[in-house]
Amino acid sequence: MADRTRPSGLFKNVNAKIASIPMILTALCVFLGGTLWTVVYSFTDSKLLPRLRFVGLDQYERLWSAPRWLVSIENLAVYGVLSLILSLVIGFVLAALLDQKIRFENTFRTIFLYPFALSFVVTGLVWQWILNPQFGIQHIVRSLGFESFTFDPLYNADIVMYGILIAGLWQGTGLVMCLMLAGLRGIDEDIWKAARVDGIPMWKTYLFIVIPMMRPVFITTLVIITSGIVKLYDLVVAQTGGGPGNASEVPAKYVYEFMFRAQNLGQGFAASTMMLLSVAIIIIPWAYLEFGGKRRG
Amino acid sequence: MTSVLVKDVSLNFGAVEVLKSLNLDVTEGEFIVLLGPSGCGKSTLLNCIAGLLDVSAGQIFINGKNVTWEEPKDRGIGMVFQSYALYPQMSVEGNLSFGLKNAGLPKDEIARRIARAASILQIEPLLKRRPAALSGGQRQRVAIGRALVRDVDVFLFDEPLSNLDAKLRSELRVEIKRLHQKLGNTMIYVTHDQIEAMTLADRIAVMKGGLIQQLDAPQAIYGKPVNRFVAGFIGSPGMNFLEGRLEPRDGQPRFVADGLDIPLATYAFDAAGFRPGPAVFGMRPEHVGLNSGTGWPFSSATTVEVVEPMGSDTLVWARLASQNFTVRVSSERAPTVGDQIVIGFDPLRASLFDADTGVRL
Amino acid sequence: MASPAVFASSAGVEPHGPRPRRAISRRNVIVYGTLLVVAIYYLLPLYVMVVTSLKGMPEIRLGNIFSPPVEITFEPWVKAWATACTGLNCDGLSRGFWNSVRITVPSVIISIAIASVNGYALANWRFKGSETFFAILIFGAFIPYQVMLYPIVIILREIGLYGSLWGLVIVHCIFGMPILTLLFRNYFTSVPEELFKAARVDGAGFWGIYLKIMLPMSLPIFVVALIIQITGIWNDFLFGVVYTRPDTYPMTVQLNNIVNSVQGVKEYNVNMAATLLTGLVPLVIYFISGKLFVRGIAAGAVKG
């Protein structure tokens, strides 16, 4: 009776399964497996080579009492909060300006976005040069007669993160602008018309009508920027190398140093697990809102 | 008294002429429908009246005041949009009051106006809700309310019912008509739906290519279309068109085509009168009689090719002078395919058009 | 200011035609002024790179970084390309450039091939569990790379590719997969299902439909994927540092080593020439691709 049924089970749709093997391997072995592996080994005392000798929370205790790690966290927090706020604000303002039916819109957009095409290494090195106190901005302002003018963020431990921030914003704001512009373009033209008929001034229309309508765009942008901020590494390496001293150290760099330089794998694993944790705190609520909400709607 | 006057208004987007020196005179309290296919400029004209688009040339007057350079809010208009354009993050009450608050009206005045609009539109129970929690029909009511609270003389509707399903559309259509009767405001209403136009309008402006083709009462537009475009656009099912020639015979004007010979003694020609030449003969399917005796000035025998039942009526497809010809009959009297039938009509109800220009003769 | 004549004539006549607008209104000054200032800020680094790379060292020491070169020299470019030193190697950035080419080309081809077929399977041939794997993949895009760095070292060491160019190619294929798969899946989902059904009724199978129907009609999305991958892989630094050895370093890593090396006198002009050289490939792609790049980052924004 059942001799003419379709192939079932494993062999059903077999081509699609073959085509998905790389994805399945990546998802299971690297993303899931790799993450679990690192989390598990962060509880061991692995040094040069990974080994399964569990020491409980030792690595984490050491991590949170290491001044270098604490500096990294503080730096990342300062950089993160400022770059989040500034890139959202600047990106939105630029997008709103570009949305005024202006001439040369494409030219301006091309200019604002090109740094995003560059490597962080390139960005870091250019700004290292521009912020060079001997030849760069400080030198020029001084040569204009302001002899006591000081602007040497890359050589001043107190403000080095702001120097990196300038470069980071230069590279990243274009992306935010693009996302915001897409969001603005998605707003129903009739809303603008209705607000005009109602006599609402433009700034109020943005503030009370358009921005609230763009909440999903803001949230998505927020998630994207944040997960980028946590990965901050190349820029710091290129621009300051973590210096002066350890003043511009960041977590991603801490991880790299301990895994591949200091041969203290356990510390590296613990630090990277902390990074994972911080991303999870952002991603999980977002994913819940984004995807959990849809299922209900 | 004139309420809205559009004088020689043109609008160009670059090299494209969207409105071509257009004139429109709307009387106070009148309900004008701008009707036409998409791209005919009807919404553009409405946006010009609202001040949402700058005209390239010409003037616009509202209540005797030249408002050509005024901001929309200062023109004394309220507008309702196809997509409702409600502010999604505000409650219904917030939507209604936002513009008024912004204009600096006192609180009790705002409350009074909202209460009045809500009672007219019967949306009192919805005032605290967000637009997302409303049905399409309710949203459109709120959108109308937003125009209502502005206490203006002129209402502009930009295809307000196009996003609704058929049943709701006919319900709200009646409500808009009721609203107009109650308020007596001037209303200018854009639509591509001829039923909305016929049922609502005091006068319809049929538009095409940036020009008003015909501006007249619905019955006049239906009965005496000024050109072939208007004749074909108004009426459903569409008017029959037969191509042929006008010829004088036995001292009488006749329409002749491939074995067909229609006497036009009863047809009212325009001022220029009858002139021979190629022409198009138009006749509405509902003005044709089927097997209904010999009382018609013209009748002809033919065969039924296709029958389309439409509920109460049935559309019968046959051929006249080897051209398609439809007859609308009540369904009880519908013939079947292959039947021999006799169709008859009175040329008095016909429309004749110039074959080249399409202008009514 | 607009000519006073306009106002004089319009004062007497009724308003007609378009609203009179002054070319230099307050609004325009604010809008264009802000955009212009910001545009200058954005262009400045590019300008500084170019002028610095065309100056000789004596001129750099004397002048300021914004002044155009008095005497244009291409010496720094030649030096950056052919003789700049990293450690003991003194054959310039050219080595890194060719390494990057050897890494980028296969990575781009393989990753796009895998992801497009995979996205097609996810869009049109769903099977039990396919959405779950896809969800893991997308979440994987948000996991900090640092978490997976070492496990991949182990995997690569096991298959004997640690430190080689091919090892890095595999890494790029892995980390490019979430965004590319998402891109292709969304694209193929938007293709009308009737087309797919019609092809099935006509007897085409999994590969037949992919090759004969989906592939020819999805050229734009392949270009978008190409842009994302070329710029992404070319600009990578972290994976290059971790998974290659000095003689297989990609261009970005070598650039960093040249510029930030502590030995010798700093040659800023050579450094800037080297930096520009490294940025040239993505910049060229950016300026050629225009709108498609924007579409790419809109889709690729998830990559972060």
Domain termination site, one of B193, B227, B261? B227
Is B268 strand, coil or helix?
A: coil
| B301 assigned to some structural domain | yes
> Within this chain, do residues B151 and B180 fall inside the same structural domain, yes or no?
yes
Q: How far is B77 from chain A (nearest CA, A)?
A: 8
Count how many domains chain B has. 2
> Within this chain, do residues B101 and B160 fall inside the same structural domain, yes or no?
yes
State the DSSP string of A150-208.
---GGG-TTTHHHHHHHHHHHHHHHHHHHHHHHHHHTS-HHHHHHHHHTT--HHHIIII
C-alpha separations of B22 from A226, B17, C17, C158 in Å: 55, 11, 13, 80
Shortest CA distance from B84: residue in chain A: A190
Q: How far is A187 from chain B (nearest CA, A)?
A: 10
| First and final C-alpha spacing in chain B | 33
Question: Residue B235 carries which side chain, given as an amino acid letter?
Answer: G
> Within this chain, do residues B315 and B210 fall inside the same structural domain, yes or no?
no
Which CATH number do you get for residue B330?
Answer: 2.40.50.140
Q: CB–CB of B69 and C14 under 8 A? A: no
Name the strand (E) or helix (H) holding B300: strand B298-303
Question: For testing the chain A interface, which of B54, B73, B87, B151 should be mutated: the one with the most A CBs within 10 Å?
Answer: B87
Nearest residue, CB atoms, A197 vs list B79, B82, B90: B79
Per-residue buried b or exposed e for B26-57, using 16+ beta carbons within 10 Å of the residue's own CB: beeebbbbbbbeeebbbbbbbbbbbbbbebbe
* C126 contact A CB<8A: yes
Question: For testing the chain C interface, which of A101, A121, A263 should be mutated: the one with the most C CBs within 10 Å?
Answer: A121
User: In A, residues 213-272, which contact B (CB 8 Å cutoff)?
Assistant: 213
Domain coverage including residue B260: 240-354
| Residues C136/A28, Cβ–Cβ less than 8 Å | yes
Q: CB–CB of A190 and B83 under 8 A? A: yes
Q: Tell which wins on pLDDT, C295 or B37.
A: B37
Inter-chain contacts counted by CB atoms under 8 A, chains A and B: 66
Per-residue confidence (pLDDT) for residue A5, from 0 to 100: 55
Domain termination site, one of B227, B260, B288? B227
> For residue A87, what are the contacts with CB-CB under 8 A and spacing of at least 6?
A169, A172, A173, A176, A225
| B42 assigned to some structural domain | yes
| B361 assigned to some structural domain | no
| B233 assigned to some structural domain | no
Q: CB–CB of C14 and B66 under 8 A? A: yes
* Residue ranges, chain A, pLDDT below 50: 1-2, 294-297
Per-residue confidence (pLDDT) for residue A293, from 0 to 100: 53
Exposed / middle / buried, residue C59 (Cβ in 10 Å: 0-12, 13-18, 19+): middle
Whole-number Å distance between alpha carbons of A13 and A6: 10
Q: CB–CB of A117 and C46 under 8 A? A: no
User: In C, residues 17-56, which contact A (CB 8 Å cutoff)?
Assistant: 31-32, 34-35, 38-39, 41-46, 48-49, 52
- Can you list the domains of chain C with their CATH numbers? 1-44 (no CATH), 94-303 (1.10.3720.10)
| Residues C238/C171, Cβ–Cβ less than 8 Å | no
What order of strands is seen across the sheet that includes strand B16-27?
B16-27, B2-13, B57-62, B65-66
Residues constituting chain C: 304
Dihedrals φ, ψ of A216, to 5°?
Answer: -60, -40
Q: Which chains contact C through at least 3 pairs of Cβ atoms less than 8 Å apart? A: A, B
Q: What is the largest CA-CA distance in chain B?
A: 80
* A47 contact B CB<8A: no
Per-residue confidence (pLDDT) for residue C301, from 0 to 100: 52
C-alpha separations of A281 from A228, A267, B62 in Å: 14, 21, 58
Q: CB–CB of C152 and A34 under 8 A? A: yes
Whole-number Å distance between alpha carbons of C97 and C103: 10
| B250 assigned to some structural domain | yes
Q: How far is C39 from chain A (nearest CA, A)?
A: 6
Q: Which chains contact B through at least 3 pairs of Cβ atoms less than 8 Å apart? A: A, C
3-state secondary structure C191-214: CCHHHHHHHHHCCCCHHHHHHHHH
Provide the ipTM.
0.87
Per residue in C50-89, pLDDT tens? 999 998 888 888 878 888 888 888 888 988 888 887 777 7
Token output for A175: 């992306």
Chain A residues inside the 8 Å CB shell of C294: 109, 113, 178
Nearest residue, CB atoms, C256 vs list A114, A175, A238: A238
Chain A residues inside the 8 Å CB shell of B144: none
Which residues of chain B are at the C interface, by a Cβ-Cβ cutoff of 8 Å? 54-59, 66, 68-69
* C302 contact A CB<8A: yes
* B77 contact A CB<8A: yes
Whole-number Å distance between alpha carbons of A198 and B73: 6
| B119 assigned to some structural domain | yes
| First and final C-alpha spacing in chain A | 44
Tell which residue, B210, B198, B267, has the closest CA to residue B48. B210
Q: How far is B165 from chain C (nearest CA, A)?
A: 25
> Within this chain, do residues B324 and B190 fall inside the same structural domain, yes or no?
no
Q: CB–CB of A194 and B102 under 8 A? A: no
Q: Which residues pair with C41 in a beta bridge?
A: none
> Within this chain, do residues B223 and B267 fall inside the same structural domain, yes or no?
no
Per-residue buried b or exposed e for C257-280, using 16+ beta carbons within 10 Å of the residue's own CB: bbbbeeeeebbbbbbbbbbbbbbe
Per residue in B103-152, pLDDT tens? 999 999 999 999 999 999 999 999 999 999 999 899 999 999 999 999 89
Domain termination site, one of B197, B227, B257? B227
> Within this chain, do residues B246 and B220 fall inside the same structural domain, yes or no?
no
> Within this chain, do residues B149 and B35 fall inside the same structural domain, yes or no?
yes
Chain A residues inside the 8 Å CB shell of C125: 13, 15-16, 19
Q: CB–CB of C152 and A110 under 8 A? A: no
Instruction: Report helix angle C26-53 to A160-185, nearest 10.
Output: 130
Per-residue confidence (pLDDT) for residue B271, from 0 to 100: 80
Radius of gyration of chain C (CA): 26
Question: Over chain B, what is the mean pLDDT?
Answer: 91
Q: How far is B115 from chain A (nearest CA, A)?
A: 18
Q: Is the pLDDT of residue B41 over 70?
A: yes
| B135 assigned to some structural domain | yes
Per-residue confidence (pLDDT) for residue C6, from 0 to 100: 40
Tell which residue, B49, B46, B39, has the closest CA to residue B18. B39
> CB neighbours (10 Å) of residue A105?
15
Q: How far is A212 from chain B (nearest CA, A)?
A: 6
| Residues B333/B353, Cβ–Cβ less than 8 Å | no
Q: CB–CB of A118 and C137 under 8 A? A: no
Q: CB–CB of A190 and B87 under 8 A? A: no
Nearest residue, CB atoms, B58 vs list C16, C19, C20: C16
Q: What is the mean pLDDT of residues B198-220?
A: 94
- Can you list the domains of chain A with their CATH numbers? 86-100+107-218 (1.10.3720.10)
> Within this chain, do residues B48 and B111 fall inside the same structural domain, yes or no?
yes
| B74 assigned to some structural domain | yes
Which CATH number do you get for residue B38?
Answer: 3.40.50.300
Token output for C95: 């080595």
3-state secondary structure chain C: CCCHHHHHHHHHCCCCCCCCCCCCCHHHHHHHHHHHHHHHHHHHHHHHHHHHHCCCHHHHHHCCCCCCCCCCCCHHHHHHHHCCCECCECCCCHHHHHHHHHHHHHHHHHHHHHHHHHHHHHHHCCCCCHHHHHHHHHHHCCCCHHHHHHHHHHHHHHCCCCECHHHHHHHHHHHHHHHHHHHHHHHHHHCCHHHHHHHHHCCCCHHHHHHHHHHHHCHHHHHHHHHHHHHHHHHCCHHHHHHECHHHCCHHHHHHHHHCCCCCCCCHHHHHHHHHHHHHHHHHHHHHHCHHHHHHHHHHHHHC
* Residue ranges, chain C, pLDDT below 70: 1-13, 298-304
What order of strands is seen across the sheet that includes strand B289-290?
B289-290, B340-345, B298-303
Q: What is the largest CA-CA distance in chain C?
A: 89
> Within this chain, do residues B63 and B207 fall inside the same structural domain, yes or no?
yes
> Within this chain, do residues B197 and B269 fall inside the same structural domain, yes or no?
no
Whole-number Å distance between alpha carbons of C236 and A106: 28
Chain C residues inside the 8 Å CB shell of A116: 297
Q: CB–CB of A126 and C137 under 8 A? A: no
> Within this chain, do residues B209 and B349 fall inside the same structural domain, yes or no?
no
Chain B residues inside the 8 Å CB shell of A198: 73, 98-99, 102, 146, 150
Whole-number Å distance between alpha carbons of A142 and A254: 36
Shortest CA distance from B144: residue in chain A: A194
Q: CB–CB of B50 and A198 under 8 A? A: no
> CB neighbours (10 Å) of residue C69?
17
Whole-number Å distance between alpha carbons of C285 and C297: 13
> Within this chain, do residues B55 and B152 fall inside the same structural domain, yes or no?
yes
Token output for B9: 């208004």
